[in-house]
Amino acid sequence: MTVDLTPGPVAEDLARRTARFVRETVVPVEERLGGVPGSDDVRLELQRAAREAGVFAPHVSPEYGGHGLDMRDRAFVFEEAGYSLLGPLALNIAAPDEGNMHMLEAIASPAQKERYLRPLAAGATRSCFAMTEPAPGAGSDPAALATTAERIPGGWRIDGRKWFITGADGADFVIVMARTSGAPGDAGGATMFLVDAGNPGMRIVRHIETLDESLFGGHAEMLFDGCTVPDDAVLGEVDEGFRYARVRLGPARTTHCMRWLGIARRAQDIAVARAAERELFGSRLAELGMVQAMIADNEIDIAAAHGLILQACADLDRGGSGAQSTSIAKTFCAEAVWRVVDRSLQICGALGVSGDVLLGRFLRETRPFRIYDGPSETHRWSIARRVVRRHDAAHAR
Amino acid sequence: MTVDLTPGPVAEDLARRTARFVRETVVPVEERLGGVPGSDDVRLELQRAAREAGVFAPHVSPEYGGHGLDMRDRAFVFEEAGYSLLGPLALNIAAPDEGNMHMLEAIASPAQKERYLRPLAAGATRSCFAMTEPAPGAGSDPAALATTAERIPGGWRIDGRKWFITGADGADFVIVMARTSGAPGDAGGATMFLVDAGNPGMRIVRHIETLDESLFGGHAEMLFDGCTVPDDAVLGEVDEGFRYARVRLGPARTTHCMRWLGIARRAQDIAVARAAERELFGSRLAELGMVQAMIADNEIDIAAAHGLILQACADLDRGGSGAQSTSIAKTFCAEAVWRVVDRSLQICGALGVSGDVLLGRFLRETRPFRIYDGPSETHRWSIARRVVRRHDAAHAR
Amino acid sequence: MTVDLTPGPVAEDLARRTARFVRETVVPVEERLGGVPGSDDVRLELQRAAREAGVFAPHVSPEYGGHGLDMRDRAFVFEEAGYSLLGPLALNIAAPDEGNMHMLEAIASPAQKERYLRPLAAGATRSCFAMTEPAPGAGSDPAALATTAERIPGGWRIDGRKWFITGADGADFVIVMARTSGAPGDAGGATMFLVDAGNPGMRIVRHIETLDESLFGGHAEMLFDGCTVPDDAVLGEVDEGFRYARVRLGPARTTHCMRWLGIARRAQDIAVARAAERELFGSRLAELGMVQAMIADNEIDIAAAHGLILQACADLDRGGSGAQSTSIAKTFCAEAVWRVVDRSLQICGALGVSGDVLLGRFLRETRPFRIYDGPSETHRWSIARRVVRRHDAAHAR
Amino acid sequence: MTVDLTPGPVAEDLARRTARFVRETVVPVEERLGGVPGSDDVRLELQRAAREAGVFAPHVSPEYGGHGLDMRDRAFVFEEAGYSLLGPLALNIAAPDEGNMHMLEAIASPAQKERYLRPLAAGATRSCFAMTEPAPGAGSDPAALATTAERIPGGWRIDGRKWFITGADGADFVIVMARTSGAPGDAGGATMFLVDAGNPGMRIVRHIETLDESLFGGHAEMLFDGCTVPDDAVLGEVDEGFRYARVRLGPARTTHCMRWLGIARRAQDIAVARAAERELFGSRLAELGMVQAMIADNEIDIAAAHGLILQACADLDRGGSGAQSTSIAKTFCAEAVWRVVDRSLQICGALGVSGDVLLGRFLRETRPFRIYDGPSETHRWSIARRVVRRHDAAHAR
């Protein structure tokens, strides 16, 4: 099977239309709001506009109203959508909904798909994914999972604490990961549950104030305190939660890369525009060597990130786990995007740190990406371990 | 003349007491306020406490109520004060007041010292320094100065626009730089004026929203529109403004380094505390090699920055211009502090981007330092030119 | 047209066989010789072995005895060949012969192809490309070309000095670039000439001692002093030399990347093997976090370089000039390969700087790649200029 | 006690004279020899010249014919000596003799001083320090020491293998570290012995070919095979070897920094001279922004390294162990010197990799410094551990 470096014809057209839509329709809203999405009205209006422009839900299968793009094609469209902080929201491909749709399509039962996936894909509902726990619970080490689900007659009772649950505020349902066998430290025995908003045993304890502010619904700390759910709230199979998490993880971190690479392109465009206009010491900024070095390094970082995303997509589209390639792409992209935004801000000087351009906002939004979906250090650890295991296996004779 | 790597006995004691004062009295206020100083009441209360602790105004000469430290000794005290974002405010050594006091002591007339320096040194008033202009005016290139002051009977009329004027809101007086001869692009012909708040020809046009928020009084855009001042508002001599700016510049950028190095030490302490407590994969974070690398790199950056600050101080205390040494110190420190804060935040993971610790705040506060007081690129350009001129001079035979 | 991230079936098989050939046949010779190819006997024997293994000349069209791979497919085969410093020599794809074959196939006359390309493709002859001149001649700035060719009856007389002419010693013919119109500084008016070894007007003045030593034939300084050639020595058209140079340049710098990426993979394998075996402080080196970080960064650099090479190949195979994409790939790869070799050596510690492994040799061989085929700084300058021109064009209304 | 940032008057004069001596007398020899010292005649002639210039042996106490400089003063003189690869040899302050003299002065008995130190300080003899062992012996982890010394009647019998023993070939005596109690892995129980050349139980097994070639006597692998020595061959006390090694280590690694910083200054001077002369694209190289950035970064690295060396010297001169400060200085200097040489070479382009300037040689010579005297990774590990221990101690209440 071959995987292209270029989008298929459908995706190419969709990417072009997405680019136009984002620049013409989304960016003005973003600039007015300073990049923070604000109310649900904004979200709904942007999604309506995206639907009219024919660019809504590019990732979901046609059965649920989408364009059914594979990962490779998503790369081209998502990068265009990511050109604005609000672009992914408009196309309904923002985290965590996008990853949840991907996982629901892969593992939910037909009934669950009707009840949860269909309205989610349509933008009628929102969701969140409750996995991360405060120390010493599940974080970089998923096996530390401390939230438990115990069998009760007709269902399960979930108890535990989660934090940094993106989009929790206003979510119509929550996919929560809980331990159904084993103990914290064991790599097995987790199960995913679908919990509806309003369940009296689940509540938001606080909104965590964070450096970033543009992910819709913010980051919440949640408490599951005797939260009971019926049997059909189990997503997939009992005790298969860690495996499902990996199903979600590879693609989810890769689409994160796509979206943030869009912001890197945007930052570069802002900086280049400034460098092309601003005069200093008798020449345009763009003619000064150190500024040229920054512009070039941005271009190199963006191209390299794009290449790594495509390699990860190729892996996933071929049916691979993408463990190594998505880890490599994520680590590089998170750091490259950060470098690009930082250099772009530097090129713009005082203007760059002001609210007159969105670069300071982008800096705040992209910083956490080097931490969530696995900190760079955890990924480097995993990458190296796989390389060494490969070596050990080849020499274990 | 010898310049020590260690503080003199007075400064050593003062540094020790400053450290205790900041940790015990200032940090709790800072943590309560999230690092943003808020109202003038906070400032006044912190300064009263500093006076009681005997650590107020370490830099001003005893004649004006201070401890009269030279630059070398300031390094040790200011680094301790900078351990909290509010420490410099408490000691009355925050920018831009501290630099203004330094300059007023050096060049103001006796009458101007009584009127402006004495209350400023006492914390009874605040000031600002209006030099930077929006493009294409004075910024990285001071010679682009576009604001003008024209002679009128009995005084001067100032016209022009300034921006990023730190501390303007609430300042009791403004030191404004205006062109009194020549044209934008000429390196000569600037004069400094003391303008009292309330002058009807001077007003704040807007508060510039910026990534950083902890400098008291914020960053304003100001308009001088037929702003008239009497003859005795001239600070020093007419047409000597650029020279005075350099008098202010070398020490001011060096004390900036001292203060921000304090924040770097603080960030490191927060990260080390976290690394020492948090367990991951069965060991303390502090025992993981990649975390150790970050802690060590922080330590190296902090030590190197400290050494460069002392070299710059030695230059200035010996009566040198400090042009090269302060430029080197500023460039390295601004980038090193940024790296230290960034690594510290990374060590803390999700906690690091949350408002539960101040690292995200520190990241926002320190980013602009790579731009103000000369962007790193402008400094590198100057540093290289001086090296090449030295070579040219040595080989021009 | 689609361009794959995976090799076509022919190239996939060829890459696999090349990998085996290099590991089994070439590496032992390389380790015996310390990476420096030595005599022509070694070259001829390696090429005979490659021919027997069916991996000889993968890039030349079948008409001249090769496999006729496009750029994309070359990437996969050349990276395998580059796994040993002698691999490219064995496959007859070493610089500068490989680039010369590519150019001759594109622009030589049928008679020139018979006379020069056919034996070159067969490994029966060697060649060099004489373009670079000592300062202030052609280097980073090709337009500075100072060597001249003047019309004489029945041909041309070439005068000038060239240096860093790789492979000159022992070359059977030289492709020399000379100015046929205009003056140094003009971007036009160059012509390429084919000069046979033994021409009395052309001689090697000295062998330039260099950090690298593995390119066959070394780097020579050459003098053209009244060197006369007949009319049919003109390669392509008169005054079209700069255009042809660009035809050669894009692919040549990209195949350089492929070959050196092979060395990066080799260095990583050596380091991983060491890290997997060596114990320190009670664990394997491979289990220490800082070593893992280096292994992971190598892996990331290698993957990113590979992705950029493929993007450049896609550009070239689609018929594009590849100006931007090959420049990006070259800049990143040259620096990434260097980083990988440097980290690998560091992982191996004292062993790494010893002659017991080839890492010190690799370090020496790869350092110049950041300079030849355009220093990184020249590429960054070009990359930025293209970005800004694109911006200017889009906003020139 | 105060420690100056400036040399004392004696050292200032000595540094000035050393600078002149190295530039006028040593550099011409170095350029003729390509930086590799060659025969003992060269060494003896250079040392005679240094003695005549009054700059010989600045570090040894006057009792043994030196100038008795403390560490701070050494910094200024050694940095000047290090300006040439042969400068330290000329002044008799090259590794490993310089470190051995330092240690002998500190711990040898009066008789040992007469017999070993006096002629060594005079340049009449040479020495080496045999500590490092091939894996799994003593390297980054000294406690892995595997060479043993067993009591025999009237003395000791030493058995073991050492490698990377710098200067072994031609050394008149060897200071060897051997285990006299405990087992590999124990941190105690080592003893140092003085072994005369010609001892039949000690021999050089091979010369290790290395990337660097300028340390006199090269790097040898040595075998101690039933090597017997009398009781008075014990240096200091039995079982105190690890403590003595630390006595040697802090100062020795700091003087390494001083010498290599000299090479960094030299590389910068070569690059600046080239940048000031060479024209490209119509301006001097020195006027191109990216070249200016490299020149400035060199200047910053050199200044920061100098500051860290002085901080380490202050620590040592005050009687501290210097464990943390010399570790910080070593890590930063080794990497900074490498960056400076690398950038300088890059500035010089093709010339830089040629033997026409010594930059390629410097690159080869400085690379191992990131490994010997403790790899950067081992130092970072130690630095971080000390920081965390400091934290633990402060919070262990």
Can you read off the two tokens belonging to residue B278? 């948090």
Q: CB under 8 Å to B229, separation ≥6 — which residues?
A: B155, B156, B158, B193, B194, B195, B199
Pair of tokens at residue D66: 């030196």
* Residue B217 phi, psi (nearest 5): 90, -5
Cα separation, B289 vs B276, in Å, equals 13
| pLDDT (0 to 100) of residue A141 | 86
> ∠ CA A152-A157-A161 to the nearest 5 degrees?
160
Residue to test with chain D: of C164, C354, C358, C381, most D Cβ within 10 A: C354
The shortest C-alpha distance from A284 to chain D (Å) reads 13
CA distance B174 to B194: 6
Compute the count of residue pairs across chains B and D with CB atoms less than 8 Å apart. 145
Phi, psi torsion values for B153, nearest 5 degrees: -55, 125
Distances (CA, A) of B287 to A172, D374, D381, D397: 41, 19, 9, 21
A292/D290 touch (CB, cutoff 8 Å), yes or no = yes
d(CA A141, CA A154): 31
Nearest CA in chain B to A361: B211
Q: Which residue of A has its CA nearest to D291?
A: A289
Q: What count of Cα atoms within 13 Å lies in the side-chain half-sphere of residue A150?
A: 8
Positive or negative torsion for Cα A344, A346, A352, A353? positive
- Which residues of chain C are within 8 Å of residue D208 when distances are taken between CB atoms? 354-356
Rounded CA separation D116/A248 (Å)? 70
Model pTM above 0.95: yes
Q: Angle between the A289-317 and C323-348 helix axes, to the nearest 10 degrees?
A: 80
Angle between helical axes of D289-317 and B323-348 (0-180°, round to 10):
80
Q: Are D164 and D375 in contact (CB under 8 A)?
A: no
Which residue pairs from A57-62 have beta carbons closer than 8 angstroms and sit at least 24 positions apart in sequence? A57/A91, A57/A92, A57/A93, A57/A121, A57/A122, A57/A123, A58/A11, A58/A14, A58/A18, A58/A91, A58/A93, A59/A93, A59/A98, A59/A101, A59/A102, A59/A255, A60/A101, A60/A105, A60/A121, A61/A105
Mutation target among D140, D145, D211 for the C interface, most CBs of C within 10 A: D211
How many other β-carbons are positioned within 10 Å of the β-carbon of residue B283? 10
Q: Which of D358, D330, D351, D166 is nearest to D261 (CA)?
A: D330
Contacting residues for A346 by C-beta, under 8 A, at least 6 apart: A294, A352, B370, B371, B375, B376, B377
Asked if residues A50 and A90 have their Cβ atoms less than 8 Å apart, the reply is: yes
* Cβ-based contacts of B290 with chain C (< 8 Å): 289-290, 292-293
**Chain B residues within 8 A of C343 when measuring between CB atoms:** none
The predicted pLDDT at position B348 comes to 97
User: Which residue has tokens 């000595």?
Assistant: D14
Point out the residue among B163, B211, B288 whose CB comes nearest to the CB of A360.
Answer: B211
All residues of chain B having their beta carbon less than 8 Å from the beta carbon of residue A281 are 140-141
Residues A158 and A155: their CA atoms lie apart, in Å, by: 10
pLDDT of residue A3: 45
Asked whether D339 and D370 are in contact (CB, 8 A), the reply is no
Instruction: Give per-residue burial for C308-326: e unless 16+ CB within 10 Å, then b.
Output: bbbbbbbbbbeeeebebbb
| Cβ–Cβ below 8 Å for B387 and D314 | no
Q: Smallest Cβ distance to C304: which of A269, A307, A381? A: A307
Angstrom distance (rounded) from CA A156 to CA B310: 65
Q: Which helix (H) or strand (E) holds A151?
A: strand A148-152
Contacts 24+ apart (CB under 8 A), C202-206: C202/C158, C202/C174, C202/C176, C202/C227, C204/C168, C204/C169, C205/C161
For residue range B344-392, list pLDDT tens digits in order. 999 999 999 999 999 999 999 999 999 999 999 999 999 999 999 999 9
CA A158 to chain centre: 26
Q: Specify whether the CB–CB gap between A58 and A18 falls below 8 A.
A: yes
Please list every residue in chain C whose beta carbon sits closer than 8 Å to the beta carbon of residue B289.
Answer: 288-293
Q: Give tens-digit pLDDT for D239-277.
A: 999 999 988 999 999 999 999 999 999 999 999 999 999
CA atoms within 13 A on the CB side of A353: 22
Look-up of token digits 């993968």: C58
Report how far residue C71's alpha carbon sits from residue C3's, in angstroms, rounded to the nearest whole number. Answer: 10
Positions in chain B short of pLDDT 70: 1-5, 397
Predicted confidence band at D140 (pLDDT cuts at 50, 70, 90)? confident
- In the predicted model, residues of chain C with pLDDT beneath 50 are 1-3
Q: Do the beta carbons of residue C356 and residue D208 sit within 8 Å?
A: yes
Q: What is the mean pLDDT of chain D?
A: 95
In this complex, the chains that touch C, judged by 3 or more CB pairs closer than 8 A, are A, B, D
Q: How far is CA A299 from CA A268, A294, A353, C335, in A?
A: 8, 9, 22, 15
Domains of chain B as residue ranges with CATH: 9-94 (1.10.540.10), 127-235 (2.40.110.10), 242-394 (1.20.140.10)
Count chain B–chain C contacts defined by CB atoms under 8 A: 17
Best mutation target among C277, C288, C318, C328 (most A Cβ atoms within 10 Å) is C328
Give D338's pLDDT tier (boundaries 50, 70, 90). very high
Contact (CB<8Å) C276/A384: no
Place of tokens 């030099």: B131
For B155, counting Cβ atoms within 10 Å of its Cβ (0-12 exposed, 13-18 middle, 19+ buried), the class is middle
Q: Which two tokens stand for residue A185?
A: 């430290």
- The model's confidence at residue D3, banded by pLDDT at 50, 70 and 90, is very low
CB contact under 8 A, A211 and B140: no
- pLDDT per residue over D48-60, tens digit each? 999 999 999 999 9
Residues composing chain D: 397
> A325 and C303 in contact by Cβ < 8 A?
yes
* Confidence (pLDDT) at D282: 81
One DSSP character per residue, D340-388 reads HHHHHHHHHTHHHHBTTSSHHHHHHHHGGGGTTTS-HHHHHHHHHHHHH
Query: What string of pLDDT tens digits covers the 397 residues of chain A?
Result: 344 567 888 899 999 999 999 999 999 999 999 999 888 999 999 999 999 999 999 999 999 999 999 999 999 999 999 999 999 999 999 999 999 999 999 999 999 999 999 999 999 999 999 999 998 899 888 899 999 999 999 999 999 999 999 999 999 999 999 999 999 888 889 999 999 999 999 999 999 999 999 999 999 999 999 999 999 999 999 999 999 998 899 999 999 999 999 999 999 999 999 999 988 878 899 999 999 999 999 999 999 999 999 999 999 999 999 999 999 999 999 999 999 999 999 999 999 999 999 999 999 999 999 999 999 999 999 999 999 999 999 987 5
What dihedral angle (degrees, nearest 10) is formed by the CA atoms of C196, C202, C208, C214?
Answer: 0
Best CA proximity match to A211, nearest among D265, B342, C100: B342
The rounded radius of gyration (Å) of the Cα atoms in chain C is 21
SS3 D175: strand
Give whole-number Cα distances, A272 to A266, B43, C45, D293, in Å: 10, 41, 54, 20
My answer on whether omega of the bond before C96 falls inside 30° of 0, hence cis, is yes
- Mean pLDDT score of chain A, rounded to an integer? 95
pLDDT higher than threshold 50 for residue D369: yes
Residue C224 contacts residue C176 (beta carbons within 8 Å): yes
